A and B are shown apart, each in its own frame.
Chain A
Amino acid sequence: MPRISFDAVSKSFGDTRVIHSFSAEVADNEFLVLLGPSGCGKSTMLRMVAGLTDITSGEIRFDDMRVNELEPRERNVAFVFQSYALYPHMTVRQNIAFPLVMDRFKKIYHLPVVNSIARRLIARQPDVLERVEQVATMLELESFLDRRPGTLSGGQRQRVAVGRALVRDPSLYLLDEPLSNLDAKLRAQMRTEIAELYKEVKKTFIYVTHDQVEAMTMATRIIVLHEGEIRQIGTPEEIYNRPADTFVARFIGSPPMNQIPVSVRDGQATFLGVEDLAKAPAHGLDDGEYLLGIRPERVALADGEEWSIPCEVTWAEFLGAETIIGFQLGYPERDAGKITSSDAETSYLAKLDGTMRLAPGATVHLAFDPAAATWFHRDTGKVAQHPKVQDSVTA
C-alpha cells in the first residue's frame, strides 16, 4: 500500500502540453478523485500513474521509489477502463482469472498455440479457481461465470471489470470514469458498491471523473484539474465550502455558485451597474474589485434584513420541494441599469422553498447572509475571503 508522490509531473503530446507540473501527495489508503471537465488531463494523469502513458518530465514515486519506467504490472496496480475493456473472446471466469494466469506465465508459455493451452490449464488450477469464485461471490457474479462479456448488461460488465481488478489484490486501484457508460439508476448503485469495495479492501484508490456527485460522495480527497493544472486539492467539504478560485466554485455545486461583480469601498460592497440600490457589508476586505460568490441555496427572499436588493425574476422552475429562479439585479423598468444580459443563461440563480410561485417579470427583494459569501479577486479569479459560516455538503 504505497504513498504516492507526484513531483512536477508534466506531459506533452508533441508541442501540446496537457499536464503542467503536477505536484501532489497521495496518502496511503486514500480515495483520491481527479475531478475536472473533459480534456482537463485527468485521464492522462491516471494513465501515467498506471504506466500506460510515458511521463514527459518529473517523477512519480511509490513510497519514495521512482516508478516512471516501470511496466504497469511491476507497479502492482489495477486499472478499470471506462469501456471496461473486457476480453470479448474469454468467459467471465477467464476474464477474471487472466491477471492470475499472467502471474504464473513462464516465458516459454508465450509461444503461439502453447500460450492458449497454457492459459486454459493455469485457469483450471484449484487455487486460481478458488480465488475467482471468491471474487465472483463478492461481486455477485457467480451465475455469469461461464458467459461471454458480450451477453452481459452494462452493470454486469462493470462488475466483471472490477472483479478483474480485484482478483490480484493490487496495492493501488485506478478507475477511469468507470460509471459513465451506465444509466443514472445503475450509476447510483455502482457508486455505493465501489464505496463499499473501498472500505472492504482498504487500499489506495485513484478515481477519475467529471461528475461532481461521484467525487463528493466517494472521495476522501479531491484534486480539481483544469486545462492540465491543479486548481485545488482538498476534502470534499473544503472543495465545496472553501473553493480556491472561481473555476472550482462554479464547477462544484449544482446549481452552480453565483458570482456577482462588486466593488468594495470602506467595507461596503456595491453591485456593479446597480450601485445605488443596495450596499452589502464586506468586512475585512481591502478596497477593490471583487466577485461575490454566493450559492443559490443561500439566496432568500428578504425578510427584514438590514439590506436587500430588488431583482427581476427572469424564469422560474418548480421542482416540487424547491423552486429554482433565475434573476437579474435591478427593477424591470430600469433596463439600462442591468448588469447582465437578458439571456436567461446568464441570470443569477436562487434556490427557494417549493411553496414559492413566482412568475417571470415579477420583482422580488432578495438577500443573503454576507458571512456565507466567498469573495474572489475579479482580476485573478483567486479567492480573497472564504465564507465565515460553512455549509454542509448538499451535493
Chain B
Amino acid sequence: MGTDTTRVAESISGEPRDEQASPAAHRRRRRLSLGYLLIAPAMLYLVVFMLIPLYRGVQLSFTDTRLVSPAAGSYVGFDNYQFLLGSARFWNSMTATIIYTGAVVVFSIILGTLTAVLINRPFRLRGGVRAILLFPYATPTVAAALVFVWIYNRSSGVMNETIGLAGLGPVGWLGDPRYGMFSVVFATVWKVFPFVMLVMLAALQSVPDELYEAARVDGADGLSTFRGIVLPHLMPTIRVVALLMTIWSIRRFEIIYLLTGGGPVERTNTLVINIYQQAFQQQRLGMAAAIGMLGVVLSLAVTVGFFVVERRAAAQEAQA
C-alpha cells in the first residue's frame, strides 16, 4: 500500500522519490532552469527598453507633460484622448494612416506577387534579375528618400521630365496636396515590394508540380492556372504577408518624414508622423503618447482581426 501511494504520487509529479537528496537530481533541475537562464537576457532587455518605456508611454498619455520639463507633467485623466477623438486633425491623421497602409499593402502585394510569378521559372540571367529586384529592399531608407526627393523635384526631377514627354505636368509631386500621398505610397511600394516577392517566391516553390501538370492536362491556360491553382495555394502566405505589411506600414516613419514631413496640407500626416510632431515640434509629450497608444490599439486590432480571420479560414480549409 505504502509503495502504491508513492508510485501514484510519483506519476503525478513526474519526479521519482529521493529526488531532493541526490546531486544528480539537482543537476536535472539545473537543466530545466537553464532554459530560463538562456532567454532571460533577451526578455529582461525587452522589459527595460520596450515594456517599461511603453508603460511610461501609457502614463504620459494621461498627463499634460511637455518636452521642456519632462518630469513635471500633471495627471489629466482622459483629457488627451477626449481631445484627440474630438479633433479633426487626429481623424485626418487616422484617415491618412489607413489610406497609406491600405495602398501600400495592396500595391506591394500585387506587385510583389506578380514579380514573383514572373521570375519563378528558369531563364537566362534570372539570378542577376533577382539580385536587381532586391536592390530596393537593401537600400537604406534615408538614401532611398533622398533619391526620391530628387526624382520628384518639381523643376528638374526625372519624374516630371518623363511625364513631360507626354506633354503633361509639371506636377508638384511632394508639394501638391493631390499628389503627396501618391508619391509617398509610390516610394514606399518601391522599397517594400521585393520583400513580398521573396516571400511569395518561397511559397510558389512549395506549389507541388503535380498541380501544374494536372492543370495542363485539363487544358487550362496560364491565367486560369494561376487563378484556380496557384492563387489558392498562395492565399495563406498572402494573408501573413498582408499582416506584416499592415503592421509595418502603420509604424513606418522615416520615408514619410523625409519625403513630405506629413504634408502637403497634412495629407500624409500619419499617426506616427503626428506623434513626432506633437512631441518634438509642439512639445506636447502627453498628447504624443496618447496618439501613440491609439496607434498601438489600431495595430492590435488588425492583428487580432487577422488571427480571427485566419482561424476561420483554416477551419474552412480543414472542412473542404
Which chain A residues have a beta carbon within 8 Å of chain B's beta carbons? 8, 10, 12, 54-57, 59, 68-71, 74
State whether the Cβ of B16 lies closer than 8 Å to any Cβ in chain A.
yes
- With A68-B16, A69-B19 known as contacts, the answer to whether A56 contacts B24 (CB < 8 A) is no
Q: Is B311 an interface residue (CB 8 A)?
A: no
A69 and B7: CB pair below 8 A? no
A12 to B10, CA, bound (A): 11
21 contacts between A and B (CB under 8 A): A8-B7, A10-B11, A12-B11, A12-B14, A54-B14, A54-B28, A55-B16, A56-B10, A56-B14, A57-B10, A57-B11, A59-B16, A68-B16, A69-B16, A69-B19, A69-B25, A69-B27, A69-B28, A70-B24, A71-B24, A74-B24
Given A12-B11, A69-B25, A70-B24, 8 other A-B residues pairs in contact with their CB atoms under 8 A: A8-B7, A56-B10, A56-B14, A57-B10, A57-B16, A69-B16, A69-B19, A69-B27
B interface residues, Cβ below 8 angstroms from A? 7, 10-11, 14, 16, 19, 22, 24-25, 27-28
Q: Which residues in B have their C-beta under 8 angstroms from that of A68?
A: 16
Distance between Cα atoms of A68 and B11 in the complex (Å): 14
Which residues in B have their C-beta under 8 angstroms from that of A57?
7, 10-11, 16
| Shortest beta-carbon distance from A65 to chain B in Å | 12
Minimum distance in angstroms from B121 CB to a CB of chain A? 30
Closest to B27 in A: A71
Q: Which residues of B contact A71 (CB under 8 A)?
A: 24, 27
For the complex formed, measure the closest distance between the CB of A207 and the CB atoms of chain B, giving whole angstroms.
27
A56 vs B10: C-alpha distance when bound (angstroms): 7
Interface of B is mostly: helix
Known A68-B16, A69-B19, A69-B22; judge A56-B28 contact (CB<8 A): no
For B7, the chain A residues whose CB sits under 8 A away are 8, 57
A56 in contact with B11 given A68-B16, A69-B19 (CB within 8 Å): yes
Shortest 6 CB-CB contacts between residues of A and residues of B? A69-B24, A57-B10, A57-B11, A69-B25, A57-B7, A69-B22
Nearest Cβ on chain B to A155's Cβ, whole angstroms: 31
Complexed CA–CA distance, A218 and B302 (Å)? 62
A344 to chain B, nearest CB (A): 31
- Bound-state CA distance A56–B19 (Å) is 13
Residue in B19, B24, B25 with the greatest tally of chain A CB atoms within 10 Å: B24
Q: Which residues of A contact B22 (CB under 8 A)?
A: 69
- Once the chains are docked, how many angstroms separate the CA of A331 from the CA of B27? 70
Task: Specify the chain B residue showing the minimal Cβ separation from A21.
Answer: B7
User: In the complex, A82→B59 CA distance in Å?
Assistant: 57
B16 to chain A: which residues have CB within 8 Å?
Answer: 55, 57, 59, 68-69
Q: Which residue of B lies closest to A74 (CB)?
A: B24
Q: How far is the CA of A54 from the CA of B15 in the complex (A)?
A: 9
Contacts of A56 in B (CB 8 A): 10-11, 14
Closest to B8 in A: A57
> Which chain A positions have C-beta within 8 A of B27?
69, 71
Shortest C-beta distance, B29 to chain A (Å), equals: 10
Q: Which residues from B are CB-within-8-Å of A12?
A: 11, 14
Residues of A within 8 Å of B11, CB to CB, are 10, 12, 56-57
Q: Across the interface, which residues of B come within 8 angstroms of A10, CB to CB?
A: 11
A59 and B24 alpha carbons, distance in the complex (Å): 15
Measured CA separation A69–B10 after assembly (Å) = 14
Which of chain B's residues have a CB closer than 8 A to the CB of A8?
A: 7
Docked Cα-Cα span, A210 to B294, in Å, equals 61
The smallest C-beta distance from A31 to any residue of chain B, in angstroms, reads: 29
CA A119 – CA B185 in complex, angstroms? 54
B38 to chain A, nearest CB (A): 13
Nearest-neighbor residue (CB-CB) of A59 within chain B? B16
The docked-state distance in angstroms from the alpha carbon of A56 to that of B14 is: 5
- Expressed in whole angstroms, the Cα–Cα distance for A8 and B6 within the complex equals 13
Instruction: Give the Cβ gap from B27 to chain A, nearest Cβ, in Å.
Output: 7
Q: How far is the CA of A148 from the CA of B28 in the complex (A)?
A: 33
Which residue of A is nearest B22, CB measured?
Answer: A69
Contacts of A69 in B (CB 8 A): 16, 19, 22, 24-25, 27-28
- Distance from B35 Cβ to chain A, minimum over Cβ atoms (Å): 15
Residue from B7, B14, B16 whose CB has the most chain A CB atoms within 10 Å: B16
- The CA-CA distance from A140 to B10 in the complex, in Å, is 48
List of A residues within 8 angstroms of B14 by Cβ: 12, 54, 56
Rounded to whole Å, the gap between the CB of B12 and the closest CB of chain A is 10
- Complex formed: what's the CA distance from A12 to B8 in Å? 12
Min Cβ gap B283→A in Å is 47
Q: Which residues from chain B contact A70 at a C-beta distance below 8 Å?
A: 24
Q: What is the CA–CA distance of A90 and B14 in the complex, to the nearest angstrom?
A: 37
A325 CA to B22 CA, complexed, in Å: 61
> Once the chains are docked, how many angstroms separate the CA of A70 from the CA of B28?
9
Nearest Cβ in chain A — how far from B41, in angstroms?
15
Alpha-carbon distance between A70 and B27 when the two chains are bound, in angstroms: 9
Question: In the complex, A10→B6 CA distance in Å?
Answer: 14
Name which residue of chain A comes closest to B31, CB basis. A71
Closest Cβ of chain A to B123, distance in Å, is 31
- Bound form: Cα–Cα A345–B101 in Å: 63
Bound CA span A255–B78, Å: 81
Q: How far is the CA of A69 from the CA of B23 in the complex (A)?
A: 9
Bound-state CA distance A74–B27 (Å) is 12
Q: Which residues of A contact B10 (CB under 8 A)?
A: 56-57
Residue of A nearest to B10 (CB): A57
Kindly provide the distance from the CB of A112 to the nearest chain B CB, expressed in whole angstroms: 13
Q: How far is the CA of A57 from the CA of B19 in the complex (A)?
A: 12
Chain A residues near B19: list those with CB within 8 A: 69
| Complex: A8 Cα to B3 Cα, angstroms | 12
Complex CA–CA separation, A12 to B24 (angstroms): 21
CB neighbours of B28 from chain A (8 A): 54, 69
Q: Which single residue of chain B is at the shortest CB-CB distance from A66? A: B18
CA distance A56 to B27 in the complex (A): 17
Whole-angstrom CA separation of A243 from B11 in the bound complex: 32
Query: Shortest Cβ distance from B10 into chain A, in angstroms?
Result: 5
- Nearest CB to that of B3 among chain A residues? A8
- Of chain B, the residue at the smallest CB distance from A12 is B11
Compute how far the CA of A271 lies from the CA of B11 in the bound complex, rounded to whole angstroms.
47
Q: How far is the CA of A10 from the CA of B7 in the complex (A)?
A: 10
Closest residue of B by beta carbon distance from A69: B24
> What residue of chain A has the Cβ atom nearest to residue B26's Cβ?
A69
- Give bound CA distance, A68 to B27, whole Å: 13
B4 CB to closest chain A CB (Å) equals: 11
Report the bound CA distance from A69 to B11 in whole Å: 16
Listed residue (A8, A55, A68, A70) with the most chain B CB atoms within 10 angstroms of its CB: A68
